[in-house]
Structures are given as C-alpha cells and as structure tokens.
C-alpha cells in the first residue's frame, strides 16, 4: 500500500506539474510600455476609446498575473494571462493605427482649410485701400491675418482642433470684413446722391436769392465762391488729414460733408483768420447717432466741433483736423464775399460743375 500511495502521488504531481508555465513577463513589460506611449500625445487625442479598451484588457492581464503568482508554484498556469496580454497589445496596436489614420485625415483637412484662408486673405488684401480705415476694414483684415497665423502655429504643435478653431475665427473676421465693404459701397453711392442734391439746392438758392454761397470740392481740393448761382472765384485748399472720408467722430481728421452756414467771422485766429461753420448741424447729429447705434463708431466717441474755413493753407497737403484751409492771401480775398449766414456746401466730389 505505501508503494501504491507514493506512485499515485507522483503521478498526480506529474499531471499538476504539466500545467506550470513561465510567466510572460517580457510580453507584459512590452505591453505596459506601449500603453504608456498611448496615454498621452496623438494616440490619446485621436483614439481615446481604443486606448481605454487597451487599459481594461491590461488590467485584466495584471490581475490574472497576480492571481497566478499567488498560487502554489506547481499549480501556476499563465495561459490566460498570456492571452489577455496579447489581446491588450492588439487593442493598443489598433489604437496606434486608428490615431495615425485620423490624425492624417484631420491634418489634411486643416491644411487645406488654412491654405484656402491664405488665398482668401491675399484676395481681400488686394481689395482694401486706406479709405476703408474708418469702417474698421483694415482692423478686421489684420485680425483675420492674426487668426490665420495662429492656426498655422497650432498646426505645427499638432493641435489641429485648435488650428481649425482659429481658422473659423479667421472666416468670421472675413465675413465681418465683407459687411464693412458692402457698407462702404452703399455709403459711397449715398454720398454721391446727396452731393448732387446739396449742390443743386445751393446753386438754386444762390440764383433765386442773388446771394453768395461757397462750395468745397474735396476731391479736387477746390473752394468755389458762388454769386447768384454762378462761380466767380476758385481757390486751392487744404483739408483734414483724412479728407477722403465723411466725418464720423471727433479726432478722425475727416472734413465733414453737408450743407452749413458761417456762424462767426474770426478776424484774429490761431490760423490767421477764420469762418466758423455750424458743424455739427442736425444732419450730422442724426448720422452720428445712427453710426453709434450700428456700432460703426465707439460709444465713447464725440461728434466734434470748431470746423472752420481758415488761413495758413496753401501747403499742398491735407493737414488740418477737418477744417478747410486757404492760403492767407486767399483767406483775405474770400472775406470780401463771405459773412455770417453765408451758405457753405462741402461735397466729396463736385460732378458736372463748371
């Protein structure tokens, strides 16, 4: 009996011993290292779900390894742990492959979008000129350009989502720029229409009442004296340093356009002699309020005042803060005709006037 018992025991141990295996530690280390690489960077960014699945599989593998390590050495079997590690590694590989494909797709899309923006910005740049400054167009284009540059920078940092957000900001600035250009075109047409009306009324009133009036042509930089509907004198004049624009707020350097009257003759002025105009009149105040409501000008802007026809002109440049400047000798000459109440019409362009 003792011999039989020993034999059975040896056979049982042999059978149990057949289940023992070498722990797959090397595979475990490689899988853990791969998982560490996936936890940050592009793989985590573009394949987070696949990475999470790999984490779950690795956790099960760790638990199985720990379980087997805790058993009696003759009873340890690592088949299941080995399978779990292999499964985790396959999920990690899927995460790496998926991230690479998605990143390449996103990069190509972002690059295409930003390249298109570069072309759009160049086209917009060609359509701009300095006369759009007061419409905020230059500022909008600059903001768009900054957003595009930021998008390019983010692309180089592999932040494609941020790059696309910046690209969208650029598109929004360009849309606002388009609105500014449209507003400018509408305003130009309105200015031409109003100028024709003002000049016609000025000439008709002068003709009908037999009085003197003044018309200033900003584009030609000429001041004309009208008597009984006919031009009797013309002088070269200097204007505000932003003469091409309709005046919108104090300090913009624009010479206002509209129908005014001389309210005061100043014989001792900082600029030799001066004819003070009734700027801002009711039309100016309405336009100023409308521009504030539309957001075209700041809520803190002021409308300005002290617009004059004065001396110290003849400099062949636009240098005033919005006034009309004549050479001193011409200023002396015009004072022979103009007095308090003289109508003064200022237009951007005097069309069809001889």
Residue 307 burial class via C-beta count within 10 angstroms: exposed 0-12, middle 13-18, buried 19 and up = buried
Q: What is the arithmetic mean of pLDDT over 248-260?
A: 92
**3-class secondary-structure state, position 197:** helix
Q: Decide the pairing of beta strands 308-310 and 324-326.
A: parallel
Q: What is the arithmetic mean of pLDDT over 84-103?
A: 94
The per-residue pLDDT for range 169-212, each reduced to its tens digit, is 999 988 888 887 777 777 778 888 889 999 999 999 999 999 99
Q: What is the arithmetic mean of pLDDT over 99-103?
A: 92
Q: Choose the weakest-confidence range: 163-177, 221-235, 310-324.
A: 163-177
Residue 309 structure tokens: 């026809």
pLDDT at 232: 95
Q: With contact defined as beta carbons under 8 Å apart, do 311 and 268 qualify?
A: no
Instruction: In whole angstroms, give the CA distance from residue 16 to residue 75.
Output: 6
Res. 18: pLDDT tops 50: no
Confidence of residue 157 (pLDDT cuts 50, 70, 90): confident
Q: With contact defined as beta carbons under 8 Å apart, do 325 and 237 qualify?
A: yes
The per-residue pLDDT for range 24-70, each reduced to its tens digit, is 999 999 999 999 999 888 898 899 999 999 999 999 999 999 999 99
The per-residue pLDDT for range 20-31, each reduced to its tens digit, is 478 999 999 999
DSSP assignment of 60-124 equals HHHHHHHHHHTS-GGG---HHHHHHHHHHHHHHHHHHHHHHHHHHHHHHHHHHHHHHHHHHHHHH
């Amino acid at each position: 009996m003792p011999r039989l018992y020993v034999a059975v025991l040896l056979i049982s141990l042999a059978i149990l011993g057949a289940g023992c295996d070498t722990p797959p530690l090397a595979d475990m280390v490689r899988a853990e290292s791969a998982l560490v690489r996936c936890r940050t960077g592009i793989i985590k960014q573009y394949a987070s779900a696949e990475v999470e699945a790999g984490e779950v599989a690795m956790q099960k593998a760790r638990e199985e390894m720990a379980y087997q390590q805790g058993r009696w050495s003759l009873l340890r079997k690592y088949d299941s742990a080995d399978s779990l590690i292999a499964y985790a590694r396959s999920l990690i590989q899927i995460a790496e492959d998926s991230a690479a494909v998605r990143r390449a797709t996103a990069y190509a899309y972002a690059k295409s979008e930003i390249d298109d923006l570069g072309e759009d910005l160049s086209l917009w740049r060609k359509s701009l000129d300095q006369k759009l400054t007061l419409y905020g167009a230059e500022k909008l284009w600059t903001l768009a350009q900054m957003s595009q540059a930021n998008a390019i920078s983010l692309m180089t940092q592999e932040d494609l989502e941020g790059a696309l957000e910046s690209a969208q900001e650029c598109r929004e600035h360009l849309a606002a720029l388009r609105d500014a250009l449209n507003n400018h075109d509408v305003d130009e047409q309105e200015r031409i229409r109003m100028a024709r009306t003002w000049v016609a009324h000025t000439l008709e009133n002068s003709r009908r009442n037999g009085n003197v009036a003044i018309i200033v042509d900003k584009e030609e930089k000429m001041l004309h004296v009208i008597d009984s509907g006919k031009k009797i004198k013309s002088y070269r004049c200097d204007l505000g340093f932003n003469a091409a624009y309709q005046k919108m707020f104090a300090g913009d350097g624009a010479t206002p356009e509209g129908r005014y009257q001389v309210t005061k003759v100043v014989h001792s002025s900082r600029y030799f002699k001066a004819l003070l105009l009734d700027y801002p009149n009711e039309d100016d105040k309405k336009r100023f309020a409308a521009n504030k409501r539309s957001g075209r000008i700041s809520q803190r802007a002021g409308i300005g005042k002290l617009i004059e026809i004065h001396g110290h002109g003849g400099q062949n440049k636009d240098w005033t803060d919005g006034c009309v400047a004549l050479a001193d000798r011409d200023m002396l000459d015009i004072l022979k005709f103009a007095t308090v109440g003289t109508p003064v019409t200022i237009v951007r362009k005097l069309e069809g006037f001889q």
